[in-house]
Amino acid sequence: MSLPRFQHYIDGAFADGAVTFESVDPATGEAWAVMPAADAADVDRAVRAAHRAFLDSDWSRMTATQRGKLLHRLGDLLAEEAPHLAAIETRDTGKIICETRAQIGYVAEYYRYFGGLADKIEGVHLPIDKPDMEVTLRREPIGVVAAIVPWNSQLFLSAVKLGPALAAGCTVVLKASEDGPAPLLEFARLVDRAGFPRGVVNIVTGFGEDCGRALTSHPMVARVAFTGGPATARHVIRNTAENLAHTTLELGGKSPVLVFADADLDSAANAVIAGIFAASGQSCVAGSRLLVERGIRDRLLQILARKAAAIRIGDPQDPATEMGPLATRRQRDRIAEVVGRSLAAGARLVAGGHPRDGVGFYYPPTILDCDSQAVPSVREELFGPVLSVVSFDGEEEAVATANDTEFGLAAGVFTRDLARAHRLVRRIRAGVVWVNTYRAISPMAPFGGYGLSGLGREGGQDSVREYMRTKSVWIRTSDEPIPDPFVMR
């Protein structure tokens, strides 16, 4: 039986790639579809199409209000097609169907939000310190955007790039991850139906070295929006030494969740479980370090072990499934390797820890009780369902432990003490701090990291400005002739 074939979307047309590769269903370990892989020539075609559309097309002549309407239309189509796209994303990445459906439904709101912002980007008039001068600042779209995403939540991670870029008037070449690219390649059909002029949005996939490098170093790219791991981010920064593109980086995390003795333990436990085991832990904001006040450690661990054991693991297409497989065999094997090293370094197994036999890339919900921050699972991002638990005594040690990481993406604080919550919010180094909740997001709230978790912010009103340049316009209002500068008076 022949497998379904996906195509790139370049210059308003669907096209094959230079070569193809098979995408594997993580629940079965079997190839289920054939994907195109772009090489440098495919990327060049896509970037040139985006460049043409940016400089001279119906898009470049469109009003901001018209751009906003197109984004709204894309949001509506996405909401309509969420069940279809969710089934494809679940098939290609193993993410469970109830999560993909809910997330894609919400991604529609991102396009609507950015559509609403499109005609609210205003210029500025400066009270300049010179007579007879009018000085205004124009906000202009930056140009061609290279957007690159990893495999998890590709529709969401691309919406926080495409949304503001298109609202600003840019054009985009979006590179889907080579792992699980199907949802974005299918999403191209909605872009096409929404009526964006050709070349405005181009969607390709391919491998890092051929496709990713060609895209981020392309001389016609003015802006790079990257989500992925810190090691790849360093390549991206080196690539942009070629084109000096303005770059934002959304990278990994080792996010702490701090639970104090006065917290509502059951509620905190539910947030901790969702924070680490949702999406099988393949989430940049996974709360992968649980920091627990020593006095409640045993009680909280008991609750967590019980809840972890009750998680229904199974077929990701079944709406009753609560945890599916990891996206790739490579990912599952890496997790098993880090857990092995962590146990050898003295961590104690509270739950899980043994990959299940049988088909698919499954790894069970795992909890490791760790005596120190030196255990590998406490320091390294696993991007999987592994919670490392470290105890603390008092607020000072809690803050020091939370900040003892090279990352700084997110943090959670569970306490009923309002004053303490405020103190912790100030002292924790992370781009997002959630108090008595975890993993809440919105198009209105900026998102991004400290340290190795990245550069810049996505989401919120200011993110549209990240896709614009400021032009200062000076107009002399005097009718007096300009004096000859070389005639002395």
- Binding to ligand NAD by CB under 6 A, coded x per residue (else -) over 332-351, reads --------------------
Instruction: Decide: 415 and 389 in contact? Cβ < 8 Å.
Output: no
Nearer to ligand NAD, 37 or 118 (CB): 37
Instruction: Decide: 235 and 381 in contact? Cβ < 8 Å.
Output: no
Contacts 24+ apart (CB under 8 A), 19-26: 21/178, 23/92, 23/180, 23/181, 23/182, 24/328, 24/329, 25/91, 25/92, 25/94, 26/93, 26/94, 26/316, 26/324, 26/325, 26/326, 26/327, 26/328, 26/360, 26/361
Q: Has 250 been annotated as catalytic?
A: yes
Number of residues that bind ligand NAD (CB under 6 A): 30
Instruction: Tell me the window of 65-73, 210-218, 266-274, 366-374 that interacts with ligand NAD (CB under 6 A).
Output: 210-218
The answer to whether residue 100 forms part of the interface with ligand NAD (CB under 6 A) is no
User: How big is the chain, counted in residues?
Assistant: 489
Nearer to ligand NAD, 230 or 314 (CB): 230
The answer to whether residue 229 forms part of the interface with ligand NAD (CB under 6 A) is yes
Q: How many CB atoms lie within 10 A of CB 404?
A: 14
The answer to whether residue 383 forms part of the interface with ligand NAD (CB under 6 A) is yes
Cα–Cα distance measured from residue 486 to residue 35, given in angstroms and rounded to the nearest whole number: 67
**Which residue has 């009718």 as its token pair?**
479
Q: Residue 478 Cβ, how far from ligand NAD at the closest point, in Å?
A: 51
Please pick, among 81, 186, 211, 284, the residue that the annotation labels catalytic: 284
The answer to whether residue 216 forms part of the interface with ligand NAD (CB under 6 A) is yes
The answer to whether residue 151 forms part of the interface with ligand NAD (CB under 6 A) is yes
Nearest Cα to 217, choosing from 16, 40, 477? 40
Instruction: Tell me the window of 9-17, 63-71, 147-155, 164-172 that interacts with ligand NAD (CB under 6 A).
Output: 147-155
The answer to whether residue 236 forms part of the interface with ligand NAD (CB under 6 A) is yes
Instruction: Tell me the window of 12-20, 150-158, 372-380, 386-394 that interacts with ligand NAD (CB under 6 A).
Output: 150-158
The answer to whether residue 361 forms part of the interface with ligand NAD (CB under 6 A) is no
Nearer to ligand NAD, 212 or 443 (CB): 212
Angle between helices 154-168 and 97-117 (to 10 degrees): 10
Q: Which positions from 421 through 480 interact with ligand NAD, judged by CB under 6 A?
A: 454
Cα–Cα distance measured from residue 304 to residue 457, given in angstroms and rounded to the nearest whole number: 33
Amino acid identity for residue 97 in this structure: I
Nearer to ligand NAD, 151 or 392 (CB): 151
Q: Residue 444 Cβ, how far from ligand NAD at the closest point, in Å?
A: 16
The answer to whether residue 150 forms part of the interface with ligand NAD (CB under 6 A) is yes
- How many degrees, rounded to 5, is the angle at CA 393 between CA 392 and CA 396? 90
Q: Has 397 been annotated as catalytic?
A: no
The answer to whether residue 212 forms part of the interface with ligand NAD (CB under 6 A) is yes
Nearer to ligand NAD, 177 or 321 (CB): 177
Dihedral pair phi/psi, residue 146, rounded to 5°: -100, 115
**Which residue has 């972890």 as its token pair?**
308
The answer to whether residue 143 forms part of the interface with ligand NAD (CB under 6 A) is no
Instruction: Decide: 86 and 93 in contact? Cβ < 8 Å.
Output: no
Task: Name the token pair of 25.
Answer: 């269903």
Q: Residue 284 Cβ, how far from ligand NAD at the closest point, in Å?
A: 3
Nearer to ligand NAD, 239 or 388 (CB): 239
The answer to whether residue 26 forms part of the interface with ligand NAD (CB under 6 A) is no
Cα–Cα distance measured from residue 339 to residue 28, given in angstroms and rounded to the nearest whole number: 23
Q: Residue 446 Cβ, how far from ligand NAD at the closest point, in Å?
A: 12
Q: Residue 45: helix, strand or coil by DSSP?
A: helix
Nearest Cα to 226, choosing from 100, 234, 71, 210? 234
Give the residue numbers marked as catalytic.
250, 284
- Chain residues binding ligand NAD by CB under 6 A are 148-152, 157, 175, 177-178, 208-209, 212-213, 216, 227-229, 232, 235-236, 239, 250-253, 284, 381, 383, 409, 454
